[in-house]
């Protein structure tokens, strides 16, 4: 099922309609739907050629695999007997025999999993640059370079000297928006259940495709995560060891952030990693992969170099909380209700924290719902320096001199007036810039009860229904 991706599809369509050659780079974590996006874009196009590399092959193996795909798309049996020594020979043949423009259709070259095609070497990028400059651009080709190892795509492609100034469009593909993700369920599950799935699995299309809409949340959790053959049981290994060279170090960082936000200095001390360029590279790569995110806390100047790093990958947060400590039990268990057994005393509390992360991640959507999306200067949490227990999960600073303080509540009932004293305390302790007005927002599952609503205390009210409906 293909849903969403309107913005990305528009970028690809614009590149295709351009009169000249166009170079597009797409990257993002595995299973996020990069290949599917390009396949949907390429459907029905007369000259769409896809070449997918395989993980683990050396340069010779990659060339052999590439040429097999080349000959299959060229549909000439005699060509299959040809053998090429290097990438130059491969691309020369491709240029002469595949990229003909006599039909008037723009040729599209799609190189998928580029990091494996390069076989750990940067030389391929320079060869691609040569053919782009001298042949493909002149033939008005649309070249799409795609990869799931974000560090490779950023450092070796986007930031490479070879392709500097040549990339016409860059797409970092992230998860779907909440209102897009619910389309996978075709109105067969409740909104509350849909939120739980998004807080556990995020909005990664491949994960959502595996959910059986004829089963309950608990049944799906047991089948996917808490059974010996569960699809998600080994997913973290695939994430860390296929995307990063030093998978263990990246996994240690993510495990540490599972317990809360930390600065680079705090991560350095706890893991014994020097806080210089090495740690920054690890953190940057995790951020490019959309596994963690760095934010400047609201109480810091927006120009501050201080960053608090937080885990934003929903499934990894769930995995390190409940699955990683119980892997032996999961692999040996025959129970069909292991999920309920393992999570029974703490899952509601975990969902509360997960809802806070959900709201921070989709702060832009919440601002749109509340009607001030175009005025947002910053959206960040606030940490009280003098009181570690004092925290506001989400605060907006707006260009119209308004500070919007959000109270986020994950409860299975409407919120009553008892919430007011806690919000008042937070507003008093928050340092408000001179000349600014404070507004209060309640973000919860079911909204306020009649008494709280009649008090007219909150300026903005956002419910789960508001978040999941098409904005």
CATH number for region 362-468: 3.40.1350.10
Residue the block writes with tokens 């706890």: 270
Superfamily of domain 6-172: P-loop containing nucleotide triphosphate hydrolases (3.40.50.300)
* pLDDT tens by residue, the chain, 471 residues: 788 999 999 999 999 999 999 999 999 988 899 999 999 999 999 999 999 999 989 999 999 999 999 988 876 655 666 789 899 999 999 999 888 766 678 999 999 999 999 986 669 999 999 999 999 999 999 999 999 988 889 989 999 999 999 999 999 999 999 999 999 998 899 999 999 999 999 999 999 999 999 999 999 999 999 999 999 999 999 888 877 878 889 999 999 998 888 999 999 999 999 887 789 989 998 998 889 999 888 877 767 778 889 999 999 999 999 999 999 999 999 999 999 999 998 999 999 999 999 999 999 999 999 999 999 999 998 876 555 556 888 999 999 999 999 999 999 999 999 999 999 999 988 888 899 999 999 999 999 999 999 999 999 999 999 999 854
All CATH 1.10.10.10 domain ranges of the chain, comma separated, are 179-356
In angstroms, what CA-CA distances link 50 with 322, 334, 376?
40, 43, 41
Contact of 54 with 62, CB cutoff 8 Å: yes
How many Cβ atoms from other residues are within 10 Å of residue 161's Cβ? 9
pLDDT given at position 471 = 43
Contact of 142 with 15, CB cutoff 8 Å: yes
Q: Pairing mode, if any, of strands 22-27 and 142-147? A: parallel
All CATH 3.40.1350.10 domain ranges of the chain, comma separated, are 362-468
Taking alpha carbons only, the member of 378, 367, 360, 374 closest to residue 303 is 378
Is the Cα torsion angle 368, 316, 213, 410 positive or negative in sign?
negative
Residue the block writes with tokens 């002149």: 138
pLDDT given at position 390 = 67
Angle at 144 between CA 140 and CA 148, to 5 degrees: 170
| Phi, psi values for residue 437, rounded to 5° | -100, 145
All CATH 3.40.50.300 domain ranges of the chain, comma separated, are 6-172
Please give the DSSP secondary-structure letter assigned to residue 176.
Answer: P
Question: What are the DSSP calls for 288-334, one per residue?
Answer: HTTSEEEE--TTS-TT----EEEE--HHHHHIIIIIGGGHHHHHH--
In angstroms, what CA-CA distances link 450 with 413, 417, 439, 453?
12, 9, 20, 5
CATH number for region 179-356: 1.10.10.10
Provide the terminal-to-terminal Cα distance of the chain, rounded to the nearest Å.
21
Dist CA 24 CA 229 (whole Å): 38
pLDDT given at position 101 = 63
Residue the block writes with tokens 């913005």: 7
pLDDT given at position 89 = 95
Please give the DSSP secondary-structure letter assigned to residue 163.
Answer: T
């Amino acid at each position: 099922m293909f849903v969403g991706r309107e913005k990305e599809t528009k970028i690809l369509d614009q590149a295709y309609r351009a009169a000249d050659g166009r170079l597009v780079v797409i990257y993002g974590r595995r299973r996020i739907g990069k290949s599917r996006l390009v396949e949907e874009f390429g459907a029905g196009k007369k000259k769409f050629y896809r070449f997918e590399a395989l993980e683990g092959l050396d340069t010779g193996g990659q060339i052999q695999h590439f040429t097999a795909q080349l000959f299959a798309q060229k549909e000439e049996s005699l060509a299959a007997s040809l053998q090429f020594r290097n990438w130059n020979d491969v691309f020369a043949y491709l240029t002469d025999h595949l990229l003909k423009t006599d039909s008037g259709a723009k040729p599209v070259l799609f190189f998928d999993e580029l990091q494996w095609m390069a076989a750990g070497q940067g030389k391929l990028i320079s060869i691609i640059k040569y053919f782009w400059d001298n042949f493909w651009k002149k033939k008005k080709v649309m070249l799409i370079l795609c990869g799931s190892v974000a560090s490779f795509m950023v450092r070796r492609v986007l930031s490479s000297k070879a392709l500097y100034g040549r990339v016409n469009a860059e797409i970092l593909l992230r998860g779907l928006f909440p209102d897009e993700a619910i389309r996978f369920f075709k109105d067969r599950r409740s909104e509350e259940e849909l939120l739980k799935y998004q807080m556990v699995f995020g909005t990664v299309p491949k994960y959502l495709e595996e959910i059986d809409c004829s089963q309950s949340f608990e049944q799906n959790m047991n089948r996917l995560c808490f059974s010996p053959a569960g699809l998600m049981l080994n997913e973290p290994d695939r994430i860390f060891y296929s995307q990063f060279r030093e998978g263990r170090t990246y996994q240690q960082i993510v495990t540490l952030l599972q317990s809360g936000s930390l600065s680079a200095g705090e991560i350095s001390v706890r893991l014994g990693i020097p806080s210089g360029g090495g740690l920054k590279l690890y953190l940057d790569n995790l951020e490019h992969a959309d596994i963690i995110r760095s934010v400047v806390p609201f109480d810091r100047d927006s120009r501050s170099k201080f960053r608090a790093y937080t885990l934003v990958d929903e499934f990894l947060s769930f995995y390190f909380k409940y699955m990683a400590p119980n892997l032996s039990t999961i692999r040996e268990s025959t129970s069909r209700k292991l999920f309920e057994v393992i999570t029974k005393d703490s899952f509601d509390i975990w969902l509360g924290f997960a809802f806070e992360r959900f709201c921070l991640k989709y702060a832009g959507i919440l601002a749109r719902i509340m009607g001030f999306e175009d005025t947002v200067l910053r959206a960040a949490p606030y940490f009280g320096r003098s009181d570690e227990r004092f925290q506001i999960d989400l605060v907006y600073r707006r260009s119209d001199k308004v500070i919007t303080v959000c109270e986020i509540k994950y409860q299975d009932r409407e919120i009553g007036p008892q919430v007011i004293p806690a919000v008042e305390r937070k507003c008093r302790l928050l340092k408000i810039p001179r000349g600014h007005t404070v507004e209060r927002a309640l973000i919860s599952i079911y909204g306020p009860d009649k008494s709280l609503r009649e008090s007219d205390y909150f300026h903005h009210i956002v419910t789960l229904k508001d978040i999941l409906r098409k904005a």
